[in-house]
Structure 1
Amino acid sequence: MTKIGLPVPAGFTISTEACDYFYKNGKKYPTELNKQVSDHVRKLERTTKRKLGDPQNPLLVSVRSGSARSMPGMMETILNLGLNDRSVKGLASVTRNERFAYDAYRRFVQMYSTVVMGMPKEDLEQRLRVMKDRLGVKEDTAVPASGWKELVTEYKAYFRKESGTEFPDDPIDQLWGAIGAVFESWMAEKAVTYRRVEKITGLLGTAVNVVQMVFGNTGDTSGTGVCFTRDPSSGEKIFYGDYLV
C-alpha cells in the first residue's frame, strides 16, 4: 500500500508460513527469520528516518496479527513498542508532550506484561486505579506526567517481581517477545473457538505486521478506528467501519 502511494504508515510483514513453521517445529523460528527481521527493521528505520530506541528521535511500532480471515478481537496486539527509559524522553521532546510520552510508555509496559508475559491484567489495572485515587482524578486524561512516570516505575517493579527478570530494555528483544506473543495467540482458546464456530479452516496461521506507530491519543484532534472496503456481514461493496475519539 505504501508503494502505490496510499497514506498508510510504513512497515513489514512476517508471513503466515513463518507461523506454520513455528508450530510444526516446537515453537522455533525459521533459521532465516532473524536476519530478515533485522534487515527489515533497518529498512524501516531508513524509511521513517527514525531509529528504535533512539533517545532523540525514536521509532515506535505496533505489532499486530494478520490472518487471511478477519477474526476481530481474537488475536493479540502490542502498541508503542520501542519505548524505554531513554527513548521515552526522545518521544516527549519530539511531540513536546511529556504527559503523552509517559502515558504511551505505561501503556506499552502494561500491554507487554499482560500479552507477552501473561501477567494478570487486573493486577495492573488495580495499580492504575490506586494511583488515580491518590491523585484525586477519575479520568485517565486528567493524570499528569508525574502520575504516568510513577506508574511506569510501579509496573516495572511488578514485572520484576512476577517474572524474576527486568523489563526488556532493548527494542529488538521487545520485538521478538511481541512476535512470539502474536504467533502464540493463533492457538489461544478464544481464537481456536472462534475459528471452529465460524467454520474457518485451511489457514496456515497468522502473519505478524510490524508497522510504524500512528497515535490516536496525542490530543483532541486525534483518534483511532477501523475501516473496510466491503461490509463484513454482507460483502456489499461499501465503506464500513467505526472510530473512537
Structure 2
Amino acid sequence: MNYDRYFIRGQKVFLINISEERDESVFDSFTGKVVLCNDDRLLLKTAYRLYSGEVMSLKPGMQFKLTTEAMGMGIQVRAELTDLISPEELQLRPLGELSVYQRRQSPRIELTLPLLHVPQKSSLAAFQREWKRVISDLRKPDPPRLKLSATTLNLSAGGVRLDQSSNPTHLSLLVIDLQDEKPPLCAVAELVWHQQDEEQKLIKCGYRFVEILKEDQERIVALVEKEIGGKASIAKHRELIDRMLP
C-alpha cells in the first residue's frame, strides 16, 4: 500500500480516537502534520504539546482513524500509535486499506450566544483535564457562575469561527451557552486558521472542536436545524464520527 502517495510531508492529518477502551460519550481528537510516511510508519508533528509532565491519555497500542484530503477527496485509514517520540511528535503504524470518501461541509449558522473563551499555551493533556473539571462543575445542582459574554459566532457541530482582539493560541477552552435550557457546553478547540482584519482591528479565527461531548455535538446540530429549517445530521461527516465507515 503506497501510503506516502496520500500522506505527503507537511500535510495535515486529523486523528480521531477509535480505541475500544475510549469513553464513547466523548469525541476525542487532534491534528498533526506529516513528517515522514512509508508503508509501515507514519511520523506526525503537532503544533502544540500533547503532554507536559501530566498523566498521559495517549499510550502505545491506541487506535485512531486518520482523515486527510488528497486530490480533492477525503482519505481515511486506521492506524495504531506505536511511539510517543516527544511532546509534539508521535509515530503510528497504518493498518489495512485506505478508503476514499466525498468530503462534506458541516451546516453552519451565524448567531450571537454567551461565550467564555480561555486561550492558553498549555498542552492538550492539560486542556483535557480542565475540560473534564468544567464539565463536572457545569452539571452540579449549583454550578459556578461563569462570566460569559454575548459574542457573534459562526457555529457548526465541528467547530466555530469568531473574532478576537488578542493573538490566538493553538488551543483554547470554549464554554458556549446554547440557550436551550440546558447547561452550557464546554469544548477544547484547536486553531485551524486566523486572519487579521485591519479595518476592524480584530483577528478572525476558525477553531475545530477536538474534545467535546457527543451529546453537545447533537445539541449544536439541533440548534442548526432549528435555524436553517432543515436536516443537519453529522452522520455523513467522517471527520465528526469516531469509527471507521465504509
Normalising by structure 2, report the TM-score.
0.27
More helix by share: 1
More strand by share: 2
Structure number with greater CO (CA < 8 Å, separation at least 6) is 1
Normalising by structure 1, report the TM-score.
0.27
